[in-house]
Structure 1
Amino acid sequence: MRRTLPIFCVLAVLLVAIGTANPHFLEPAGFLSFVRRAGPLAILAAGQYFVVVSGEFDLSVGSLVTAEVVIAARLIDGEPAATWPVLALLLAAGALVGLLNGLVTTLLRVPSFIATLGMMLILSGAVFLWTGGAPRGALTEQFRAFGRAGLGGVPWSALILAAVTVAVVLLMRADFGRTLVATGDNQKAADLSGVRTHRAKTVAFVLSGLSAAVCAILLGGYAGVSAQVGQGLEFQAITAVVLGGVVLGGGRGSVVAAIAGAFTLEALFTLLNLYGVSGALEVTVQGVILVAAVALGAVRLPQWTALPRRPLKGQS
Structure 2
Amino acid sequence: MKRNLPIFGVLAILLVAIAMANPFFVEAEGFLAFVKRAAPLAILAAGQYFVIVSGEFDLSVGSLVTAEVVIAARLIDGDSGATWPVLLLLLAVGALVGAVNGLVTTLLRVPSFIVTLGSLLILSGAVFLWSGGSPRGALSEEFRRFGRGTLGPVPWSVLVLAVVVVAVIALMRSDFGRTLMAAGDNPVAAGLSGVRVRRVKTMAFVLSGLSAAVCAILLGGFAGVSAKVGEGLEFQAITAVVLGGVVLGGGRGSAVAAIAGAFTLQALFTLLNLHGISGALEFTVQGVILIAAVALGSVQLPRRAKSAPTTA
Q: Tell me the TM-score normalized by structure 1.
A: 0.96
Deviations 1:115-166 (A, max 9, x none): 0000000000000011111000000100000001121211111111111111
Matched, 1:67 2:79: no
Which structure has the larger Rg?
1
Corresponding residue for residue 9 of structure 1: 9
SS for the counterpart of 1:12 is helix
| Counterpart code for 2:210 | L
Shift of residue 302 of structure 1?
2.7
| Aligned twin of 2:151 | 151
Cα distance in 2, alignment partners of residues 286 and 62 from structure 1: 15
Matches within 5 A, 1:226-265: 226-265=226-265
- 3-state DSSP of counterpart to 2:219: helix
Structure number with higher helix proportion: 2
Aligned to 1:161: 161
Q: Which residue of 1 aligns with 2:137?
A: 137
How is 1:1-316 mapped onto 2 (pairs within 5 angstroms)? 1-303=1-303, 304=305
Counterpart code for 2:125: G
Q: CA offsets per residue over residues 157-192 of structure 1, 9 Å max, x none?
A: 111111111111111111100000000000111111
CA offset at residue 193 of structure 1? 1.1
- CA drift of 1:282 comes to 0.4
Name the CA distance, whole Å, in 1 between partners of 2:117 and 2:306. 35
AA aligned to 2:143 is F
* 1:200-229 Cα deviation digits (max 9, x unpaired): 000000000000000000000000000000
Q: Distance in 2 between matches of 1:170 and 1:11?
A: 24
SS of equivalent to 2:284: helix
Q: Supply the distance in 1 between the matched residues of 2:206 and 2:277 (Cα, whole angstroms).
A: 37
The 3 A distance-change label for structure 1 pair 296 and 305 is: closer
After superposition, give the CA deviation of every residue in 1:62-107 in whole Å (9 maximum; x if it has no partner).
0000000000000000011101100000000000000000000000
Compute the displacement of 1:305 (Å). Answer: 6.6
SS in 2 for 1:228: coil
CA distance in 1, matches of 2:166, 2:79: 34
* Equivalent residue letter for 1:277: I
Structure 1 gaps of 5+ residues are: 307-316
Shift of the alpha carbon at 1:266? 0.2
Deviation at 1:27, TM superposition (A): 1.1
AA aligned to 2:174 is A
- Could you tell me how far 1:46 is from its partner in structure 2? 0.3
Quote the Cα distance in structure 1 between the aligned partners of 2:251 and 2:150.
36
Q: Which 4+ runs in 1 deviate beyond 2 A?
A: 302-306
Whole-Å separation in 1 of the counterparts to 2:79 and 2:97 = 26
User: What do the CA deviations read for 1:250-278 (whole angstroms, capped 9, x no partner)?
Assistant: 00000000000000000000000011111
Amino acid at match of 2:256: V
- What does residue 310 of structure 2 align with? none
Report the residue type matching 1:23 in the other structure.
P
Alignment coverage as a number of residue pairs = 306
SS of 1:52 mapped into structure 2: helix
What do the CA deviations read for 1:2-45 (whole angstroms, capped 9, x no partner)?
11110000000000000000111111111111011000000000
- Give the unaligned 5+ runs of structure 2: 308-312
In 1, the alpha carbon distance for the partners of 2:18 and 2:165 equals 25
Report the secondary structure of 1:280's partner residue.
Answer: helix
> Over aligned residue pairs, what C-alpha RMSD do you find?
1.0
In 2, Cα distance between equivalents of 1:158 and 1:259: 13
Counterpart Cα distance in 1 of 2:302 and 2:128? 47
The TM-score normalised by the length of structure 2 is 0.97
Q: Which moved more, 1:49-58 or 1:149-158?
A: 149-158
